[in-house]
Structure formats: C-alpha cells, structure tokens
Amino acid sequence: MVVLILKLYVLLVVLIMAIYATRHYRFTVNRLVGEQRLYYQDLIDSELPRISVLVPMHDEEKVARQSLEAILRCEYPRELLEIIPINDHSTDRTAAILDEMAAGHDVIKPLHRHEGQRGKPAALNDALLVAFADVIIVFDADYLPARGSLRDLAISFKDPEVGAVMGRVVPVNTRANLLTRLLDLERSGGYQVDQQARHNLHLMPQYGGTVGGFRRDLALSFGGFDQRVLAEDTDLTYRLFINGWKVVYANRVECFEEVPETWEVRSRQIRRWSRGHNYVMFKHFGGLLRSPYLTRAEKLDGLLLLTIYLVPVFLLTGILDSVALFFLGEMQIIDSVLVFLFVATYNSFGNFAPFYQIGTASLLDGVTHRIRLLPFLMFYFLMNIWTITHGFFQALGDRFWRRKRAEWDKTKRFRKEAPV
Amino acid sequence: MKRRLAGLALLPATAVTAGAATHTLSVEAALLLVAFGLLIVLPFVPGLIEVWRPRDRYPLPVDMNYTKDPRYLGRSARALLAAALRDDQGPPGRRTVTLSKVEAVEVHDRLDVSAGANLTAIQLARGAMVVGDRATCDRDIYARAGARIGEGAVLRSLACDGRAALGRGVTIARWLDVEGDAHVGPQSDLGASAAAAGFLELADGVTFERLWGSPVRTTGYLGPRELPAAPAPFALPDVLEIRDIEDLASLHRGDLVVGPGETFDRPLVVKGDLRIETDAVVDRTVKVYGDLTLEPGARLLGDAFVEGAVIVGEGAAVRGCVFSQDSVELRRGARVGTPGLVKTVVGKHSVTLAGDVAVHGYVLTDGRGSVRCRGSD
C-alpha cells in the first residue's frame, strides 16, 4: 500500500511538471508568434489622474537620494503629483536625507514611521491614509524610473476595469558577478515572456509591488494591506482579480533595480517570497475558484500562479520519494523514463524554464551572448528548491499557528555609486 | 560488471585474451568516463568563457530620458542639425557635418527643386522651399519657413517651420514634422509619423501610421461640434466601503444597447458588444470586450477601451480617447476630443477616417491607417 502511494505520488509530480511545461511552452509560443495586445502607453491624454508615489524605505541611505532624484526627473504635471518616501523605522541617515530632499521640493512629503509594525505592508497602509491621490504608484527604494514612467503607469487607470498596473523590472548591477547575471536572465524570462504573455492571453498578470500602481480606494476597501503577508503584492493581485478587477502589464515601462549580489542575501529574499506567496495561496485558493468574475482560463492560470512556489516542494518530495522507491527495490515497476521526465521537465521547461522563456526573452531583448550562462541556472535552481521549500513550511507554520504578524526581512543593498 | 562493460566493447569479447580484455576494458572504462565527463562539462564551456571574458555583462539598455512625444523625430532632427551647423550664418553652399555619420548638407536661402530632380544630400532652406513634381530626396529636408511639395515627390523626411502643403501622391518614407498647419494631398503616403503643431488636414486616399495635429482632420472638415457637458474627468467615488467591481463600475455580461435617455452614474464594463443608439448619450468611460458601435449622432463623453472593433458613426462624437485592440473606423462627421484637450485614437490593426472627421490630438495604428472620403460613408 505504501509503495503504491509512493508510486502514485511520483506520477502526480510528473503530471504537475507536465502541466507547468505546457503553460510555459504556451507563453513562449505566444511571445514568438502570437497576437500581442497593446498596453496603454501610446495614449496621450491631457486629463491625467492625480497620483501619489510611495517609496517605502528602511535604512536606505545608500539609495534614497538617487531614487528620489530619478522620480523628480519624471515628467508629470506637478499639481497632480506628490511623492511620499516612507521612512520606516530607519536607524541610519535615511530620515535626514528625506528631510533634506523635502526642503528643496514641495512635492516630496516624507512620512516618518517610528511606531507600529515595521515592514512594507504596514508602511503602505499608513501612507494610504495620508495620500491625496486616487492612484498610487509604488517604487522600492533602490529603483530608478525613467522620465516617462509615471505617465505611462498612471494612464492605465483611465481603463475603468484596471485595478493595478505592473511595469518591467531590469537589474542594473549585472556586472557585479555571476549571480546578478543569472538573476538578470531570470527577470528577463519572467517579464518579457511570462508577464507579457499573460497580458496577451487575458490571463493574470501579476502586480509585483514596485514599478507599478493600484487604486487607493480599492486597497483601502480591502482593509489595506494584510500585515501578516510578506507578499503583499501577490495578495493584492488576487484580491483584485477575485473581485472583478484587472491587472495590466506594461512591458515598455522599464525600471532599473538592484538585485542581490550574494547567494545568502538572494536565498533570504526568495525564502521570504516563498513564505509570503504560499501564505497567499492558503488565503485565496478557495476564493479564486469561487469568484464569479473570472473566466475558466483566468482561474486555471491563477491557480498555477498561486501554486508556483509549491512546485519546488513537490519536486523535492518527488525526488525523495523516488530515492525511497529505489531503496525499496520498486523502481523497476515505475518506468525510469518517467523519473527522468519529471527532472528534465522541470530543468528544461518548468518553473524557471531556462531554455524556453529565458532564451526567448533574450532573443526579444536583442541580447544573445548572455544565454551562454543558461546552464549555470542549474545551481541557482538547486538553491531555490531548498529555500522555497523552507519558505513553504514557514508559511504553513504561519497559517497553522495563525500568526498575526510576520517579520519583514529587508533586502541588503550593495550600491556604492550611482549606477546610471 | 566486467561482463557488462565487455558488452559495450567494440571488439567481440570472445576475440580477446583475458589479459588483453582487462586492458581493453580499463581503456574503455576510462574513455567512457572521459566522454561522460565531457558531456557534463561541455554545456558549461560557453558559459565559462562568457564568465571569464564577458561580452554581454551590461544591463539591458533602458532609455532613462524616454517620454512619449509624437513630434520626437522632427524635434530631434532639428536639434541635431542645429548642433552640427552651430548657427551657421555663412553663404549658401555645401557643408560637411557629423551627425550619426558624416553627411553632406546643402544650405540654401530659398530652395527650389526642379521637377524630377534627385537630391542626395541633406537640404536646409533658411527660407521657403518648393519641391517640384516627382522630385526625390533620400536624405532629410528642413525648411525654416513654409514648404510646398509637388505631386508624386518622394522624400525621406521633411521638417518645416512654417505651413506645409503636400501635393497629390507624395511619399514620405519616414516622417513629416510641421510647426504650422499642414495640408496633405490625395493618395499621399505619410510613412511612420506625420505631425503638425497646427492642424493636419488629410485628403482622400492618404495612408499613415501615426498622426499628430491640432486637430488631425480630413477633407471637408466643417468645424468643431458642441458636446453636452462633460463629467468630471477621472472621478472615483469617495466611498471606502466598496467591495467589488459593481460598486465602482457597472458590469454587464453579454451585449448591450443603450438608447436615448439612458444614463449611467459610473463607468460601464460590457462583456459583449455595446451599441449606443442614435442621439443617445453615455456620459462615462466604457470598457467593451466585444465591438463598440456609436450610431449616427450618438455621444460618448468618456473614454472607450475596446477589445474588438470600434465604429463611430456619422456625426457621432467621443469626448475622450478611443483605444481598440482591433480597428477603429471614424465615419463622416465623427469627432474625437474637443479643442483645447489632447486625446488619442489607437486602432491596433487599422484606423480608417472618412471625410469631415476631426481628432484633437493623436492617431496611431500598428497596421494600416487610411483616409477614405468616398465610398465608406
């Protein structure tokens, strides 16, 4: 009986891998030869919405000034714009930098937080209460938007169904080391192919929490950001879709970010994402399936996106399962091709889909030499299996113990000088 | 194990002695290991070379100064030429300047190009410019006063600081940028972009991709038309108890027909086709998953975001932008936008304009844009 269960589990894992492989293949084909839906960046309209730009910051003295200067360079009518950098319990010079910047620019209105819970969701919640605009645009502290970014993001809210918008993130510190180059490849696949294809196919593009925006009233109507959630962006994405709103993806709105330069920092970051994303999975699984506003295709895509940080857990347990079967002498019953299949499927087409999505993204971006690094993603992939699984069990603990708050693990900055 | 390896040997196992077999097997095993090792390492070799001697380690290029400007091409060309010539007040004649590459510039006080002439250098006219019929120029032309382009002329691009008049069948390969008003003759092709600070008037048979004008209008234009009072732009209700989309936007599943006298107090999302009947007024923005049709005389006072095709019927008007993932057809007398406000018409696959049409702002298509004053209306 136990052996039968173990064998069935291996087959289940193979099936899951095949489903994700099909999904990524579909996205890749769409980007290469499919119909591409336009985003709203070409709309020129003299009636723009008022916007509040929020920039959560905790100990961001290395990047705060450059980020705010980049936002100030953006073209947007000043009477319709306010910039709220949120000093979230900083202990370095962040507060002083924000006050200096505010003294020289009326549109900068710092919000200093010294009490209450630290973390992005709590910081955003406080800022939402003082923001003057209907449309909220969010940048992380290390982000450097281009001059047209604010207009190109804000224009999407003319569409009455758009609840949130997401731009494209481009790593700026690719020259640092192999890890940053691998993260650059991963980002390319994730945005240039995955997000754009979901936009094209009327599926569920994801609001990523930065280089993006949302309607303030909607966020407040949901009770603000859930402070138990470490993936407040994914949480908002699902709340919006489940309640009938859409998220649109703006591939042309590109913004530089700094990616982690050490494996340790990256590992902590992805563990936090996994913990947050899996918490959201527990939270919205039922609501997604029951929503009267979503099509079947949206629900299926939403489900696959919702469980994407569960896949490495399946894979790891599937590998352990197959090892157990091997030592039980039962592997000859399961066709070994299947075992090969699920490993190869994931490596080739699965969650990180290097040879499909990332290769295609590099092709579309017109950069070719960097695809030589694709095999190195294998090491990155091995790290991810472990850290994501760890994050999953943390999320399980959060859910089981009904934790009311989660500790926010800030990503370390590496910037030494202005990158652009 | 030895038996299994022997089975892999190229020589038949029976053809070798025991000692020779051991030797052969060890060589084979070593070769196998080397081959296996190579297969493991080989995929990493190009990557190792890239890590060792990087050729592609820079970030993806993001233009930090990019902003949407429909007149970018003309402005940028003028700025480049001005920088290269450094306020050259010298006598007319030929100069050599460095732009993106070394180019010849012919400077004229007034430029008269004879019919059928072929120009191969950049042309700068400090005064007016007249290009004769069927003349060609495969470099940019810049006139600091008005310009008249003869029938059948073929130009790469044209910047003009005064008024411009293009004759019948003119072809602009890349862009046209005019500081004043512009008239474009029948059957002309405006290339990738045509912009005018004043009005941009297009005759029958003109083809285009991007148009900018105040307004863009077609032959037979009869002037602006009054629209009913517009709603406050982009006003979301100040209600924080909203829970779902129906609190902020009316959602209608299936097709919908709006007749005269029907009103909406919030934006409208229609999951099918939407038809606004003759003389009916929709005073909010609409999002339509099917096709949108405004019957003759209908009014839409907000924007239109449409997944299917859009038809704005005779004399119908849209106060806001028209955005279609398919096509847009503006029939005779249709209006988009109002004087003093900039609005946009986007039709991904095509935009078709009939006679007496005006768009206050920007018109764009990734497919074919055309003016059909006869037949379609």
Nearest to A170 among B59, B241, B284 (CB): B59
From B155's Cα to the closest Cα of chain A, the distance in A is: 26
Q: Give the chain A residue whose CA is nearest to the CA of B68.
A: A148
pLDDT band of B376, cuts 50, 70, 90: very low
Nearest to A174 among B57, B267, B344 (CB): B57
User: What are the start-end ranges of the H helices in A162-215?
Assistant: 178-188, 196-200
Q: Is 80 exceeded by the pLDDT of residue A339?
A: no
pLDDT tens-place string over residues B332-359: 999 999 998 999 999 999 999 999 999 9
Cβ separation of B234 and A157 shorter than 8 Å? yes
Q: Which chain B residues contact residue A218 at CB under 8 A?
A: 242, 248
pLDDT band of B14, cuts 50, 70, 90: very low
Nearest to B245 among A158, A188, A293 (CB): A293
Tokens read off for B206 = 């003109």
Cβ separation of A370 and B269 shorter than 8 Å? no
Q: Give the chain A residue whose CA is nearest to the CA of B305.
A: A159
Edge-first strand order for the sheet with A212-215 is A111-113, A81-88, A51-57, A135-138, A212-215, A162-171, A246-257, A144-145
Mean pLDDT within B200-224: 93
Among A101, A98, A94, A86, CA closest to A59: A94
- Lowest mean per-residue pLDDT among A150-159, A160-169, A393-402, B164-173: A393-402
**What per-residue confidence (pLDDT) applies to B195?**
97
What's the rounded Cα separation, in Å, for the pair B178 and B213? Answer: 9
Task: Tell me, yes or no, if A348 comes closer than 8 A to chain B by beta carbon.
Answer: no
For A336, half-sphere exposure in the C-beta direction (CA atoms, 13 angstrom radius) is: 5
Nearest to B348 among A38, A47, A148 (CB): A38
Nearest to A45 among B67, B251, B342 (CB): B342
Mean pLDDT within A100-120: 92
From A53's Cα to the closest Cα of chain B, the distance in A is: 18
Mean pLDDT within B273-297: 93
Cβ separation of A184 and B346 shorter than 8 Å? no
Among B248, B200, B218, CA closest to B357: B218
Mean pLDDT within B17-31: 73
**What per-residue confidence (pLDDT) applies to A184?**
93
Q: Residue A108: helix, strand or coil by DSSP?
A: strand
Nearest to B67 among A134, A147, A181 (CB): A147
What rounded mean pLDDT belongs to chain A?
A: 88
Cβ separation of A158 and B305 shorter than 8 Å? yes
Q: Is 70 exceeded by the pLDDT of residue B148?
A: yes
Q: What is the ipTM of this complex?
A: 0.89
What's the rounded Cα separation, in Å, for the pair A270 and A276? Answer: 10
- SS3 for chain B is CHHHHHHHCCCCHHHCCHHHHHHHHHHHHHHHHHHHHHHHHHHHHHHHHHHHCCCCCCCCCCCCCCCCCCCHHHHHHHHHHHHHHCCCCCCCEEEEEECCCEEEEEEECCEEECCCCEECCEEEECCCEEECCCCEEEEEEEECCCEEECCCCEEEEEEECCCEEECCCCEEEEEEEECCCEEECCCCECCCEEEECCCEEECCCCEEEEEEEEEEEECCCCCCCCCCCCCCCCCCCCCCCCCCHHHHCEEECCCEEECCCCCCCCCEEECCCEEECCCCEECCCEEECCCEEECCCCEECCCEEECCCEEECCCCEECCCEEECCEEEECCCCEECCCCCCEEEEECCEEEECCCCEEEEEEEEEEEEEECCCCCC
Q: Which chain B residues contact residue A40 at CB under 8 A?
A: 323
For chains A and B, count residue pairs whose Cβ atoms are closer than 8 Å: 162
Contact present, B301 and B232 (Cβ < 8 Å): no
Q: Which chain B residues contact residue A172 at CB under 8 A?
A: 59
Cβ separation of B248 and A47 shorter than 8 Å? no
Cβ separation of B60 and A184 shorter than 8 Å? yes
For the ranges A400-409, B66-75, B327-336, the maximum mean pLDDT occurs at B327-336
Q: Is 60 exceeded by the pLDDT of residue A304?
A: yes
Cβ separation of B57 and A161 shorter than 8 Å? no
**What per-residue confidence (pLDDT) applies to B199?**
96
Cβ separation of B64 and A146 shorter than 8 Å? yes
From A362's Cα to the closest Cα of chain B, the distance in A is: 10
Residue A88 DSSP code: E
A residues 252..281 contacting B (CB < 8 A): 254-256
Q: Show contacts of A416-420: CB within 8 Å, 24+ apart.
A: A416/A62, A418/A66, A419/A144, A419/A172, A419/A173, A419/A256, A419/A258, A420/A144, A420/A172, A420/A256, A420/B62, A420/B64
**What per-residue confidence (pLDDT) applies to B90?**
80
Cβ separation of B68 and A44 shorter than 8 Å? yes
Cβ separation of B361 and A44 shorter than 8 Å? yes
Cβ separation of A255 and B62 shorter than 8 Å? yes
**What per-residue confidence (pLDDT) applies to A415?**
65
Phi and psi dihedrals of A416, rounded to 5?
A: -115, -25
Q: Is 70 exceeded by the pLDDT of residue B15?
A: no
Residue A115 DSSP code: S
Q: Is 60 exceeded by the pLDDT of residue A382?
A: yes
The enclosing H or E element of A289 equals helix A263-290
Mean pLDDT within A399-414: 68
Nearest to B244 among A243, A367, A369 (CB): A243
Q: Give the chain B residue whose CA is nearest to the CA of A173.
A: B59
Query: Looking up tokens 């500790």, which residue turns up?
Result: A407
Task: Tell me, yes or no, if A380 comes closer than 8 A to chain B by beta carbon.
Answer: no
Residue of A38, A43, A238 to mutate when probing chain B, most B C-beta within 10 A:
A43
From B228's Cα to the closest Cα of chain A, the distance in A is: 18
Q: Give the chain A residue whose CA is nearest to the CA of B245.
A: A244
Task: Tell me, yes or no, if A220 comes closer than 8 A to chain B by beta carbon.
Answer: yes
Q: Which chain B residues contact residue A372 at CB under 8 A?
A: 46-47, 49-50
CA distances (Å), A105 to each of A69, A71, A74, in order? Answer: 10, 12, 14
Nearest to B67 among A70, A148, A245 (CB): A148
Mean pLDDT within A233-254: 94
Nearest to A37 among B44, B65, B325 (CB): B325
pLDDT tens-place string over residues B37-60: 888 888 889 889 988 888 888 888
Q: Is 80 exceeded by the pLDDT of residue A7?
A: yes
Burial (CB count within 10 angstroms: exposed 0-12, middle 13-18, buried 19+), residue B184: buried
Contact present, A198 and A284 (Cβ < 8 Å): no
Q: Is 50 exceeded by the pLDDT of residue B274?
A: yes
Tokens read off for A314 = 């399946």
From B322's Cα to the closest Cα of chain A, the distance in A is: 9
- Lowest mean per-residue pLDDT among A255-264, B7-16, B25-34, B282-291: B7-16
Query: Looking up tokens 């009005």, which residue turns up?
Result: B199
Contact present, A209 and A225 (Cβ < 8 Å): no
Q: Show contacts of B249-254: CB within 8 Å, 24+ apart.
A: B249/A160, B249/A161, B249/B287, B251/A244, B251/A293
Q: Give the chain A residue whose CA is nearest to the CA of B67.
A: A148
Among B260, B265, B274, CA closest to B231: B265
What's the rounded Cα separation, in Å, for the pair A313 and A316? Answer: 5
**What per-residue confidence (pLDDT) applies to A341?**
62
Mean pLDDT within A53-65: 92
What's the rounded Cα separation, in Å, for the pair B203 and B186? Answer: 5
From A412's Cα to the closest Cα of chain B, the distance in A is: 20
From A281's Cα to the closest Cα of chain B, the distance in A is: 21
Q: Which chain B residues contact residue A367 at CB under 8 A?
A: 56, 60
Nearest to B323 among A43, A173, A221 (CB): A43
Length of chain A: 420
Q: Residue A129: helix, strand or coil by DSSP?
A: helix
Cβ separation of A370 and B56 shorter than 8 Å? yes
**What per-residue confidence (pLDDT) applies to A413?**
67
Phi and psi dihedrals of B256, rounded to 5?
A: -140, 140
From A108's Cα to the closest Cα of chain B, the distance in A is: 21
Q: Which has more confidence, A352 or A30?
A: A30
Phi and psi dihedrals of A164, rounded to 5?
A: -155, 160
pLDDT band of B28, cuts 50, 70, 90: confident
pLDDT band of A94, cuts 50, 70, 90: very high
Nearest to A147 among B55, B65, B286 (CB): B65
Contact present, B166 and B185 (Cβ < 8 Å): yes
**What per-residue confidence (pLDDT) applies to B304?**
97
Q: Is 80 exceeded by the pLDDT of residue A99?
A: yes
From B48's Cα to the closest Cα of chain A, the distance in A is: 8
